[in-house]
Chains A and B, each alone.
Chain A
Amino acid sequence: MSYIDVLREAKDQVTPGMSACQGCGGELILRKALQIAGENTIIGIPPGCMAGAGVVGWNYANGLKIPVHIPLLDNSAAFFSGLSQMYQRKGRKDTNIVVLAGDGATADCGFQSLSAAAERGEKLLYICYDNEGYMNTGYQRSSTTTKGSRTSTTPIGSVVKGKTQQQKYVPLIIAMHNVEFCATASPSNMADFVAKVQKGLAASKNGFAYLHVFSPCPTGWGYAPDQGIEVARRAVKANMFPLWEMDRGEFKLNDENRKPITIAEFVKGIGKFKALSDEDIAAIQAMVDHRFEMLKRLAGK
């Protein structure tokens, strides 16, 4: 069964009309992940774009066809650890326990509880849709924002030109927690994404599974809504977002990307990068190359 068949046959678990922006990467990830997870699923969506878009419910109305919780920004993993423990005790081990959080609720505010849950090996799947900022509140910088990005807290001006620090690479940090399954995925490589959600759900029955998904944001990043998948594809091709997975300690590079494009080609046409200087591009390129070399060594290439 190919991934297209899986997506065609599976039922949509999300309300048909939700208020995510046109061309939202997060909405695509939410819908496809829940299609694969099916109706025997409990999901937690902390504050962020997806919660704000109404899928956690609004004025006594439901946003999803399956049970959904809205934990706080910083305790999603802790909340769902408890929920998972209760489900194990009740003998409902087949229920998928899923958290879908933005990068703020994963890398910044929620990091402590996420790290603790990963270390304890709680049986749940944590999906992070990484749109590189707090998009829900008007694009403030987060720790996964790329260097040189224009955000509302690191604007482009005479003193500061965008974010001055490099991004934090969360998936590798979580992989180092000795989790059951840890992977990165991109909506542009849908076959890979579907396979990783399936693997992650299977691994979440034995331990902690983590999936870091690239989620381009047309509103915050400043590009045309129809270009979202293309931007994600360029990020994978430029090694800005390499695709790899770690299955019980075994690293595997899913896309060796023998002919990578440059960062200068990746940033073309994206509004948040329009004031990037040549030094910034060189700095990002150096960081990206170093990271990819490290991943290649981990995967034994």
Chain B
Amino acid sequence: MERQHVTPIGNDGMYVLDTASWRILRPVMDKSKCVECGMCLAYCPVGAIIGSADKKYTITYDYCKGCGVCAAECPRKAIDMKPEGGEK
């Protein structure tokens, strides 16, 4: 029997919430400290960190909730949590 992987998509397509608007602190990566271990990608609950084939990791801000797990887990402390909208 032929396999089908078709998901019936609802009338409104995907349910996508603007979770970026929750963010108070923004993770900023210091590329010079990064050793490309990929721990941030492994532990990001939102999947906001993407890795390219040559093991470069980038933080995307479209859905990042700003939880700070990546900054806490980075073994080289290459990620800093900076306040959104600059320092007060």
A: residues with CB less than 8 A from B are 3-4, 7-8, 12, 14-20, 22-25, 27-28, 31, 39-40, 54, 57-67, 90-92, 94, 187, 190, 218, 224-230
B46 beta carbon closer than 8 Å to chain A:
yes
Residues of chain B in range 1-36 having any CB-CB distance to chain A below 8 Å: 1, 3, 5, 7-20, 22
Query: Is the Cβ of A19 less than 8 Å from the Cβ of B7?
Result: no
Q: Which of A17, A24, A187 contacts B16 (CB 8 A)?
A: A17
Known: A17-B16, A17-B19. A25 touches B45 (CB 8 A): yes
Q: Is the CB of A92 within 8 A of B1?
A: yes
Alpha-carbon gap, A19 to B9, bound state (A)? 20
Interface residues on B, range: 35 or more
Instruction: Write the B33-49 contact mask toward A (1 if CB under 8 angstroms, else 0).
Output: 00001100111111100
A55: min CB distance to chain B, Å: 8
Q: Give the residue name and chain of the A residue nearest to B27 (CB).
A: A226
> Which residue of chain A is the closest to B37 with respect to CB atoms?
A4
Which of B5, B11, B12, B15 interacts with A39 by CB under 8 Å?
A: B5
**Chain A nearest CB, measured from B78 CB (Å):** 15
Across the interface, which residues of B come within 8 angstroms of A14, CB to CB? 47
| Distance to closest chain A CB from B52 (angstroms) | 8
B51–A8 CB distance below 8 A: yes
Whether B42 and A22, one on each chain, are in contact in the complex, defined by CB atoms closer than 8 angstroms, is no
6 pairs, A vs B, C-beta closer than 8 Å: A40-B5, A57-B10, A60-B12, A62-B10, A187-B43, A218-B67
Contact of B69 among A7, A23, A39, A60 (CB under 8 A): A23
- Contact yes or no, B1 A227, CB < 8 A: no
Chain A CB count within 10 A is highest, among B5, B37, B55, B81, for B5
Task: Please indicate the chain B residues that have their CB under 8 angstroms from the CB of A227 in the complex.
Answer: 72
Instruction: Enumerate chain A residues within 8 angstroms of B73, measured Cβ to Cβ.
Output: 229-230
Docked CA distance A90–B1 (Å): 8
Which residue of chain A has its CB nearest to the CB of B36? A4
Task: Write out the residue numbers on chain A whose beta carbons fall within 8 Å of the beta carbon of B43.
Answer: 28, 187, 190, 229
Contact A60 B41 (CB under 8 A): no
B7 partner, pick from A65, A228, A229, beta carbons under 8 A: A65
In Å, the complex CA distance between A31 and B48 comes to: 11
Extra 9 A-B pairs, beta carbons < 8 Å, given A19-B17, A31-B46, A226-B72: A4-B38, A17-B16, A23-B45, A39-B5, A54-B17, A60-B11, A67-B8, A190-B43, A225-B67
